[in-house]
Amino acid sequence: MSRLHDARPLNPLALALLVALASGAAACSTTSAGTSAGGGAPGAAAATGAAPDSLPVAGGDEQAVNPALGDVDATLWTQVSAEFRGASIQAYRLARLRLEEALEDSSWTAAREQEEPYREKPPAVILDVDETVLDNSPYQARLIRRAGTYGPDTWGPWVREARAPAVPGALAFTRFAHRRGVRVFYVTNRDADLEEPTARNLERLGFPMADTLDVLLTEGDRPGWDGTKVARREHVAEDHRILLLVGDNLGDFTDEPQPGRWVRSEAVARPEDRPAREPRVGDRRWGRQWIVIPNPVYGSWEDAALEGAGELTPRELLRRKMRMTVPLESSRPGAPGG
């Protein structure tokens, strides 16, 4: 999936410490605060030139805030916690069980783009790449340490290094699918000009690739292959029965209109619990044909939660997100008293 924002909400208890660390790092720098914003690869520290914004801290003092610091907890959880590793392995083990079921049921398909006749087509699975197959937390760690921001000047160099590790469980699942005669497709919103290093990264880790068929489908590689992934799922469905979709973002599974957070929240509700006014985004596919990998760092959920906030500075975005959190006395994010 693609990145959407550069700032994340901070744990208030850790904010003062993080601000102090950021200020200390800035003091040790030989350049201005903004010159380290391009920390996507060694030697690229001056790529974006974006200066960190500020945020009120205890006592009302304004201190420089590294916009990537909002990702500290999420990045650390991804990199060191047994819980992330367990959740990811658990998801892929469920995917393996569902794959076996799907192979026995010729009517089974995970893709809404699948059209009859499809029962006799060879089986395939579709996986997203970023935070589903490849773990980009080292890139995020660079942004945190260098006061960097997501952008082409940091992201492109990182991808071209082709050194992202595998998400736990992903390699074992894809190899299992390959042994069972299931074609593995990787549908990613990485740009087409990053396809070669992405393929190199996957091959280096041992993910199954095809010699005679393009199984790495990047955004913009063909006309109409935009960020929604619909056209690419249709492309796979032309010649394959799609058994499973695996991803970390709602767009990896469906591209129904997703205007707000309530529509997305109801996507996982039981049909009998879903308000009649809400569209049925997920139906009964979750955990059966659609397998979600946890990603606490970024996603399209941010745009849905902020509901068209547009371009905000890191400070504005951080404040908006803080207002969206739900304390006990409030029933919904952004409600009075929240």
Note the pLDDT of residue 265: 58
CB–CB of 177/122 below 8 Å? no
Note the pLDDT of residue 322: 81
Note the pLDDT of residue 316: 78
Structure confidence by residue, pLDDT tens digits, 303-329: 777 765 667 777 777 778 788 787 876
Please give the full DSSP string across 208-271, using - where no structure is assigned.
---SSS--EEEETSSTT--TT-HHHHHHHHHHSEEEEEEESSGGGT--S---SHHHHHGGGS-G
Give the residue from 8, 7, 20 showing the smallest Cα distance to 59: 20
How far apart CA 253 and CA 246 sit, in angstroms, is 8
Residue 333 pLDDT class (50, 70, 90 cuts): low
Structure confidence by residue, pLDDT tens digits, 241-288: 999 999 999 999 988 655 455 556 555 554 555 454 444 555 689 999
Q: Is the pLDDT of residue 235 over 90?
A: yes
Please give the full DSSP string across 281-318, using - where no structure is assigned.
SSTT-BTTTEEEPP--S--THHHHHHTS--S--HHHHH
Select 87-137+147-292's CATH number: 3.40.50.300, 3.40.50.1000, 3.60.20.10, 2.40.50.140: 3.40.50.1000
User: With pLDDT > 90 as the criterion, what percentage of the chain qualifies?
Assistant: 55
How far apart CA 115 and CA 264 sit, in angstroms, is 25
Structure confidence by residue, pLDDT tens digits, 54-71: 444 434 444 455 666 678
Q: Is the pLDDT of residue 123 over 70?
A: yes
Note the pLDDT of residue 134: 98
Highest mean pLDDT among 9-23, 225-239, 243-257, 300-314: 225-239
Structure confidence by residue, pLDDT tens digits, 151-181: 999 999 999 999 999 999 999 999 999 999 9
The lowest-confidence range among 2-11, 116-125, 179-188, 222-231 is: 2-11
Q: Is the pLDDT of residue 31 over 60?
A: no
